[in-house]
Homo-oligomer: A and B are copies of this chain.
Amino acid sequence: MPHEVITFGEAMIRLSPPNFRRLEQAQSLDLQVGGAELNTAVGLARLGHKTAWVSRLTDNPLGRLIANKAREAGVSTDHVLWTDDDRVGVYFLEFGAAPRASSVVYDRKGAAIANVKPGQIPWSNVFQGVKWFHVTGITPALSATAAEATREALTSARAAGVKTSIDLNYRNKLWSPAEAGKWMREFMPLCDVLITTEEDVGKVFGITGKNHEEAAAKTADEFQLSMVAVTLRDNPLVWKNAWTAILYHQGKILRTRTYEVEIVDRLGAGDSFAAGFIHGMLEDNPQKALDWGVAASALKHTIPSDFNWITRAEVETLLKGGELRISR
């Protein structure tokens, strides 16, 4: 049976001190695996879609660990490219509390995926029978060859009739707004759906609006995108946020419920939105995609890990209203 969805990007070992310790206080680090596109793949697998994640990994215990965890969460690693060279990226995460934000130290330079090159991945083979391809702005930010490989992937997906979505995900530690803008402008015509924050379209495309809705509309207009989803986070505190999103679709703004979220771990929330959204598109319509995206990612905030360890039934219950009593 062919895969239904493909994602492409880096995954790293995530190391975080337990119990709100600072890194300087750590005597142990909790280990998770995370990476935007893998997170989205996991979200889709948990919702029942046959999903594969494409990447390049060093064949050592750390690289294998990443692939193991992808499979554990239901994602196929059949298309991972293994190498004896390079290294596996690591990121160190400190959990915060108001007025101290959570923070991240990346140590990803020289990772195997940053050295991926066009021509290495057999995209036409990968996309056989596939319905959706998802990537984010992090993959092209890793290196020039990774950017080229991303272009190759998007072009191949289009050629194969696969729907495509991209999450802008601007990372200022990886590249400048100018570089990001250059590549992203090139990718927009290859994408069906853009997922972003208002802030990121400002930084990467220089597009601003008087509110979220206008920013979404302007972006859709500029790049002729039929759908632009904008996630919205209200964070006066670190442990409790309000979370929702809007979708600009063919000239209209669609809305959905806003969730008050008690935050265990917000890493991967945006990636979970993408997963829920793609799920909704594969099964239903843009409004449902928005509903699923926000509900799935609201749940993500309550789960330690970048991965969204939910079930389809749990999201459905939440979409029907949910409640906070203990079920027994």
Contact = CB atoms under 8 A, between A and B. Distances in A.
Nearest to A104: B328
A99 B324 contact: yes
Contact of A101 (B28, B87, B105, B323): B323
A43 interface: no
A237 interface: yes
Contact of A261 (B74, B98, B263, B302): B98
A324 B238 contact: yes
Q: Chain copies in the assembly?
A: 6
Interface in A263-285: 263-267
Contacts of A314: 100
Interface residues of A, number: 80
Contact of A309 (B25, B73, B264): B25
A264 to B, nearest CB: 4
Contacts of A261: 97-99
A23 interface: yes
A61 B238 contact: no
B105 A25 contact: no
Given A101-B322, A101-B324, A302-B97, A262 B238 contact: yes
A160 interface: no
B302 A20 contact: yes
Interface stretch (A106-114, A150-158, A187-195): A106-114
A21 interface: yes
A236 B323 CA distance: 9
A124 interface: no
Contacts of A72: 68-69, 71-72
Contact of A23 (B18, B29, B65, B173): B65
26 contacts: A18-B19, A18-B28, A24-B68, A25-B303, A28-B29, A60-B105, A61-B94, A62-B105, A87-B109, A96-B302, A96-B324, A97-B264, A97-B301, A98-B259, A99-B299, A99-B324, A100-B302, A101-B327, A103-B327, A104-B326, A104-B327, A171-B328, A172-B328, A173-B328, A237-B240, A237-B260
Interface of A: 15, 18-31, 60-62, 64-65, 68-69, 71-74, 87-88, 90, 92, 94, 96-107, 109-110, 171-173, 235-240, 259-267, 298-299, 301-305, 309, 314, 318, 322-328
